[in-house]
Amino acid sequence: MRTKIQFIPGVAALLLSPAFAGAQVTPPAQPVAPPPTPAITTARTASKQPPIGDAMNLPEAPAPQTASAAVIDQLKSAAPRDLGHGVQTPTATAQPLLLSLDDAVRLGLEHNLTISVDLQNQRQITGLQLTAFNALIPSLTASAQSSTQELNLAAMGFKPSSLVGLLPAGVTFSTIVKVSTTSARLSLSQQLFNLPAFEVYRAAKAQADVAKWNILLDRGDIVQQVASQYLRVLADTASITNAQSQVASDTELERQSQARKDAGTGTNLDLLRARVERQTREQELIADVATFEKDKIQLNRLMGIAADQPLQLTDAVPYHELEALPLDVAKQVAFKRRKDLLSLQAQLRSTELQRRAIAYERLPVVKVNGFYGVLGQTTGLYHGVFSAQGGIDFPIFQEARIRGDREVADSQLSKLRNQLSGLRGDIEQQIQSAMLDMNTSNELVRDATSNVNLAAEALDETRDRYRAGIDDNLPVVRAQATLANAQAQLVSALFQFNNAKLQLARNTGVVESQFDTYLGD
């Protein structure tokens, strides 16, 4: 099924329209206005189904894509506002941004703050991984130094009198000596056997996988939030269109009631009833406009653009029946593609490696170090010097610390295993619930569509009776209220149906790569 919805060019046009302002509407040529056309119409089409054959081979995430060139160029036309200290905030463009659902999702993935924070967290974990790797590779340093010292040999216990008879006659030995030396050396240290450091490095690599899955998890959340908010704004637009239609219809009914009263064929009660009905619909229109504006601001912020950016949504409300994956296939896809499950598995792997590193701390560490260089007087001769050492470090009395670290790691392992077990059970429940919600909301859409058609037909017949003078305008008012409620229920049911399909894609773990397939675009 597909639906069409008219987009309201701007809220100002609503507030300035004659029907909204309560001004008199020029009477049409016919005595009674036709029933308003529903803002949303549906028609049967073939149902869609996600690709079952490729379900297990879906990508982790689609290849990065940017918004359309027209959207990018339009956003570039508004220079960002500089707040100082390198902080900039986006500004709105002069013209409304023509925005499709795909462009909205891509803008959200490109500009949303959550993704930016996740990328910086990933950089931080990459840095910690390199730090852990540095303990496994040789450490090579070069150094050079030059020094001048003045030594007091007498203060060190040297007595010149002890050299009497050893020195030629007339030669004296000063107890104050000045020494200038220069040296250069290349030092090397390497741990030949350090299993704890090796396991810590492997644990750091597993933490990098956790960061990757968390980024993909947040990307899926953003896709679902942006798409859902886009659909909500479309629903708000449909509600405004319905409210406008009702206000115009009630204004016409009020005009006819006034004309009948002036002609002496109607009563003041009919006029009051029609006026109350018109004012009630005007209040609903005011509330619908306010809701539309707030939801539009929320959509802008999810996309990372200026909150006051005017929008013109170019996509219609999607309505396409979906033949969901079989439950067993959907669970297999979810167990392979759910990023929260994969993140927990990576955390469990990292914690297991840390637990192993703690156990290996009882083993000795074998290391070698040494240096080679030159040393001599600054203005004299130099000679090569070197040193080579090897050693083994045995932990002797660190049992309390090792046991404490082991208890902490064991508790974390137990917690993660319980979380994994619970999440796998939750996934099956979430998929089944999403399938039930989707099927239920689809039935609601069908019933709501039928109700709109029936209510419009009933309103038409009621107006004919009112025009013929058989009834007063009370049945007409009631019929118009019934049609308004039916249209509101249709808008709500369509939003619930599309939102349920997005939730099903999210629970299966493929919302980022398959949201358009599930919505039926």
CA dist., res. 96 & res. 112, Å (int): 20
**Eight-class DSSP state of 322:** B
Only one residue has tokens 């036309």, namely: 77
* Cβ 114 vs Cβ 305: under 8 Å: no
Greater confidence (354 vs 156) lies with 354
pLDDT band (50, 70, 90) for residue 17: very low
Q: What is the pLDDT of residue 32?
A: 38
Q: Which of 213, 226, 217 is nearest to 106 (CA)?
A: 226
**Phi/psi of residue 349, nearest 5 degrees:** -65, -45
Task: Indicate the range of 42-56, 204-218, 378-392 predicted with least confidence.
Answer: 42-56
Mean pLDDT within 92-105: 89
CA dist., res. 521 & res. 401, Å (int): 59
pLDDT band (50, 70, 90) for residue 175: confident
Mean pLDDT within 260-267: 82
Mean pLDDT within 361-380: 87
Task: Indicate the range of 233-242, 436-445, 449-458, 479-488 predicted with least confidence.
Answer: 479-488
Q: Which of 260, 271, 186, 254 is nearest to 23 (CA)?
A: 254
pLDDT band (50, 70, 90) for residue 457: confident
Residue 82 predicted with pLDDT over 80: no
pLDDT tens-digit readout, 71-81: 888 888 777 77
Coil vs helix vs strand at 148: strand
What is the sign, positive or negative, of the torsion defined by CA atoms of 226, 230, 235, 240? positive
Q: What is the pLDDT of residue 40?
A: 52
Residue 95, C-beta contacts closer than 8 angstroms, at least 6 positions apart: 74, 310
Only one residue has tokens 């379900």, namely: 55
Q: What is the pLDDT of residue 31?
A: 35
Residue 4 predicted with pLDDT over 50: no
Highest mean predicted confidence (pLDDT) among 75-84, 216-225, 272-281: 216-225
Q: What is the pLDDT of residue 9?
A: 34
CA dist., res. 471 & res. 463, Å (int): 9
Mean pLDDT within 110-118: 86
**Phi/psi of residue 61, nearest 5 degrees:** -155, 145
Residue 151 predicted with pLDDT over 80: yes
Distances (CA, A) of 143 to 123, 139, 184, 265, 387: 31, 13, 6, 110, 15
Cα angle at 439 between 438 and 441, to 5 degrees? Answer: 65
Distances (CA, A) of 57 to 110, 261, 331, 504: 25, 72, 14, 18
> What residue type is 104 in one-letter code?
A
Looking at every residue in the chain, the average pLDDT score rounds to: 81
Only one residue has tokens 């039935």, namely: 443
Name the token pair of 100: 């499709």
Q: Are strands 139-152 and 97-99 parallel, antiparallel or unpaired?
A: unpaired
Only one residue has tokens 């060139």, namely: 69
Greater confidence (210 vs 468) lies with 210
Q: What is the pLDDT of residue 346?
A: 93
**Phi/psi of residue 313, nearest 5 degrees:** -75, 130
The percent of residues above 90 in pLDDT, for the chain, comes to 26
Greater confidence (33 vs 451) lies with 451
Reported as type and span, the H/E element at residue 411 is helix 399-467
**Phi/psi of residue 140, nearest 5 degrees:** -120, 125
**Residues across the chain:** 521
Q: What is the pLDDT of residue 14?
A: 32
pLDDT band (50, 70, 90) for residue 113: confident
Residue 209 predicted with pLDDT over 60: yes
The distance between the two most distant Cα atoms of the chain, rounded to a whole number of Å, is 152
Residue 360 predicted with pLDDT over 80: yes
Mean pLDDT within 161-181: 75
pTM greater than 0.85: no
Mean pLDDT within 159-172: 71
Q: Are strands 311-313 and 97-99 parallel, antiparallel or unpaired?
A: parallel
Q: Which of 446, 461, 491, 466 is nearest to 284 (CA)?
A: 491
Other C-beta atoms closer than 10 Å to the C-beta of 7 total: 18
Residue 89 predicted with pLDDT over 80: no
Q: What is the pLDDT of residue 501?
A: 92
Residue 347 predicted with pLDDT over 90: yes
Q: Which of 248, 255, 247, 249 is nearest to 271 (CA)?
A: 255
Helix axes 268-303, 101-111, angle to 10 degrees: 50
Residue 211 predicted with pLDDT over 80: yes
Radius of gyration for the chain, computed over Cα atoms and rounded to the nearest angstrom: 39
CA dist., res. 394 & res. 20, Å (int): 86
Name the token pair of 303: 């996309």
What is the sign, positive or negative, of the torsion defined by CA atoms of 384, 385, 390, 395? negative
pLDDT band (50, 70, 90) for residue 495: very high
Reported as type and span, the H/E element at residue 107 is helix 101-111
Mean pLDDT within 370-374: 90
* Cβ 71 vs Cβ 111: under 8 Å: no
* Cβ 329 vs Cβ 55: under 8 Å: yes
Greater confidence (475 vs 317) lies with 317
Mean pLDDT within 24-53: 44
Greater confidence (66 vs 430) lies with 430
| DSSP string for residues in 159-211 | -GGGGTTTSPTT----SEEEEEEEEEEEEEEEEEE-HHHHHHHHHHHHHHHHH
Q: What is the pLDDT of residue 86?
A: 64
Mean pLDDT within 331-345: 91
Name the token pair of 382: 């130099």
